[in-house]
Amino acid sequence: MSKRDHPELFEQGSDPSAPPRAPLPTSTEHREGPGHPHAPSALRRLMDSNFLQYASYVICDRAVPALEDGLKPVQRRILWALHRLDDGRFMKVANVVGHTMQYHPHGDASITDALVNLQNKRYLIEGQGNFGNLITGDSAAAARYIECRLTDLARRELFHDALTPLIPSYDGRNKEPVVLPCKIPLLLMLGAEGIAVGLSTRILPHNFIELLKAQIAILRKRSFTLVPDFIQGGLMDASEYDDGRGRVRVRARIRPKEKTTSTLVITEIPFGVTTESLIASIEEAAKTGKIPVRAIHDYTAAQPEIELLLSPGSDVERAIQSLYAFTACEQSLTSRIIVIRDNRPVEMDVRAVLKANTERLLQLLEAELRHRRNTLIEEIHAKTLVQLFVENRVYKRFETCRSEDALRKAVRDGMAPFRRQLQRDLSDADIEMLLGIRIRRISQFDREQNEHQRLTLAQELAQVEKDLGALVPYAIHYLQNLIKTYEAQFPRRTEPASFEAIELRTLTAQELKIRVDREKGYLGHDVEGELLFECSSLDKIVLVWNDGRYKVIPPPEKLFTDTTLVYAGKHERDRVMTLVYEHEGLSYLKRFAFGGAIQNKEYRCAPSESRILFFHDAECPLLFVKYKPAKHQRIHQQTFNPLEVGVKGVQARGNQMTAKRIDRIAAGPEKPRWWQDEPEGESPKGVLF
């Protein structure tokens, strides 16, 4: 690009010696007029205009389906190409892709992917060959090896050439449909996902028969409820679906293989998951100890069949809950219905979409009936014309005619006396039709057969007029016929259910075994040493050192804590701790709860330069304290009741116990072995103040 080619883009110049440019205008500056000092440059105006065109194109012509027929442009072009090529036989997918490229301005890969995706949904395209597998995630064979054709449902319900609005294709050589005259709620049947510029859509698929029944309920002005249905089956909790504005949770179907064995079998998988990704998630959870699975066998063929061999002694129900909690056996699917309506993206819910589809169904049925009525009128008119033309020997007038105009005038004059028996005035097309009748047809004309056909058409015309006068009952009857035809072919596959909340910490309470090596000063679940406690990987643990420091951390694999660690346990905000520490020659007792803490940040539960003498994480009814021998010391041991001390904050100093140096401390209720019974009164209970 040069200044000579695009001078308007170089208005500000590009000379290095020129003064620095002003900052790019903000969105508010865009609204200023061209004379404003901060008016947008020609380059910015060009970029804004082009970006808006690109964004509009991606939203309306690529990523988001239309409300009227539920299709994205590439899907509509594929179906139109199949319709134009359809002769009832299978045809190569590569051939269909080539014909679709007459209408689609992008590459063949996107067309092939869209066609395979449509075939896997089983409603509109029937395939022959390897179209991939939604269950295993296997990809389809090359387009030259697989074949397809329209299903009967697509042929009957998607196309009507007389009612299809057409526009020129991208190169102007062909005509393509704006929307297809689709009479079924295809948008909710197929579902859709698309990411456009600044917005995305996700529409979950629904059961075809349930959608038809809901449309009947709409026509009868009754209530209805709709929830998604997935071809993979499984279980679904739609309590938060909110008519397509919320989410659903879907689960695999898991059952014990036999009541006497510890083997689980997965027979259905959630939507959006393949057996490969599901097995990978199970293996990862088994490695981290979240689920007690020691072997996985995949016997998937036409349907999923994954066998999980549990560890000996495992609880089957607990294992199933763990699979839902820690693997891809449960998925949460969010729904956000954004469609193109009147050439604009709009957000809708399931009810609004289905009501719009039902209104369009009424419009299309009325248009079809009117088109059929006009066709019947023309057929009756044509048969009446032929009968009058033959029976009254109008063709005899041709013998004296010497020109084309004379022939036309002879027909018009000969049919003029019978105008009242005709549906309308004679047209040029009618005259051409009469002039084209062969002598053989005239000589073999069967009046009774013609009259019978004319009466049959008249009866059909009367029925069409009747249906036009009662359009809603006609639509209900039409939907009922669809249900009767396809109910056995499209049953519900996903079973609605209600899922109870899974407490993850309960399932993983014994996931990790925290051990300590007191000699080397290491702590963690990958340490050989004394077992301290079992916990979940979701838990946090608190560490307390001899000098009063403490820290809250996630369960470590192997952490050096040094040998001054006095306590390690699960962190519970409100759990009451009992602490005795020595500071500046005095001993203090306090009860406290750690409360909230920032992970991996160091805190103190005792003042600096303190030394912890006793730490306990349970209620202590009595503390037995033995003092170190000292000159003139009369009291050598005492008992204290910590429950008499109020619970304070972790930073509080606590209550003073004694100024004596403590030798040993033990928690009751029973006396320790080193406790010496003395005469009453010589070892009074400690008084805390």
Does 283 share its domain with 158? Answer: no
Most confident among 159-168, 386-395, 401-410, 614-623 (mean pLDDT): 159-168
- Looking at the predicted structure, is the pLDDT value of residue 197 above 80? yes
Rounded to whole angstroms, what are the CA distances from 553 to 170, 217, 561, 570? 62, 58, 12, 10
Cis-peptide into 669, omega within 30 deg: yes
Residue 121 domain-assigned (yes or no) = yes
Cα–Cα distance list, 495 to 233, 377, 441, 581 (Å): 7, 50, 63, 61
Residue 564 has pLDDT above 60, yes or no: yes
Residue 545 has pLDDT above 90, yes or no: yes
User: 611: which residues sit within 8 A by CB, 6+ positions away?
Assistant: 546, 547, 548, 581, 582, 583
Identify whether residues 446 and 517 lie together within a single domain: no
Q: Could you tell me the sign of the dihedral formed by the alpha carbons of 54, 55, 60, 65, in that order?
A: positive
Lowest mean pLDDT among 40-49, 162-171, 316-325: 40-49
For residue 173, pLDDT over 80 is answered with yes
The whole-angstrom separation of Cα 295 and Cα 308 is 6
Judgement on whether residues 472 and 532 belong to the same structural domain of the protein: no
Domain boundary among 181, 199, 217: 181
> Distance (Å, rounded) from C-alpha 671 to C-alpha 351?
74
d(C-alpha 116, C-alpha 146), whole Å? 10
pLDDT of 210 reads 96
Reply yes or no on whether the pLDDT at 122 is more than 60.
Answer: yes
Statement to judge: residues 140 and 264 lie in one domain = no
Does the predicted TM-score (pTM) go above 0.85? no
Mean pLDDT of the chain: 86
Q: CA-to-CA distance for 451 and 456, rounded, in angstroms?
A: 9
State residue 511's pLDDT score.
76
pLDDT for position 73: 93
- Which of the listed ranges 9-13, 93-97, 289-293, 443-447 does the model predict with the highest average pLDDT? 93-97
* Structural domain span for residue 555: 507-667
DSSP secondary structure code for residue 419 in this structure: G
Does 22 score more than 60 pLDDT? Answer: no
Q: Verify that 475 and 531 share a domain, yes or no.
A: no
Which range has the worst mean pLDDT, 2-11, 217-226, 639-648?
A: 2-11
Residue 397 lies in a domain: yes
Give yes or no: 57 in active site.
no
If asked whether residues 463 and 560 sit together in one domain, one would say: no
pLDDT in tens, 344-354: 999 999 999 99
- 352 falls within a domain: no
Residues 516, 660 within the same domain: yes
* 654-677 tens-digit pLDDT: 889 888 888 888 887 888 888 876
Both 482 and 512 in one domain: the answer is no
Q: Does 511 lie in the same domain as 436?
A: no
Active-site choice (54, 57, 103, 145)? 145
> Using one digit for the tens of pLDDT, what is the confidence trace for 98-115?
999 999 988 899 999 999
Is residue 529 located within the same domain as residue 470? Answer: no
| Number of independent structural domains in the chain | 4
Give start and end residues of each alpha helix (H) in 233-349: 275-287, 316-326
**Are 524 and 556 in contact, with CB atoms under 8 Å apart?**
yes
Per-residue confidence (pLDDT) for residue 11, from 0 to 100? 40
Residue that has been written with the tokens 């016997």 in this structure: 299
Burial track 626-643 (b if 16+ CB lie within 10 A, e otherwise): bbeeeeeeeebbbbbebe
State which amino acid sits at residue 194.
G
Count of CB atoms situated within 10 Å of the CB of 446: 9
* 647 in a structural domain: yes
The whole-number average pLDDT for the span 531-543 is 88
Q: Identify whether 680 is part of a domain.
A: no
Per-residue pLDDT band for 8 (boundaries 50, 70, 90) equals: very low
Instruction: Say how far apart CA 403 and CA 408 lie, in whole Å.
Output: 9
Residues 482 and 539 in one domain: no
Instruction: Say whether both 560 and 475 belong to one domain.
Output: no
150: domain CATH number? 3.90.199.10
Is there a domain that residue 355 lies in? no
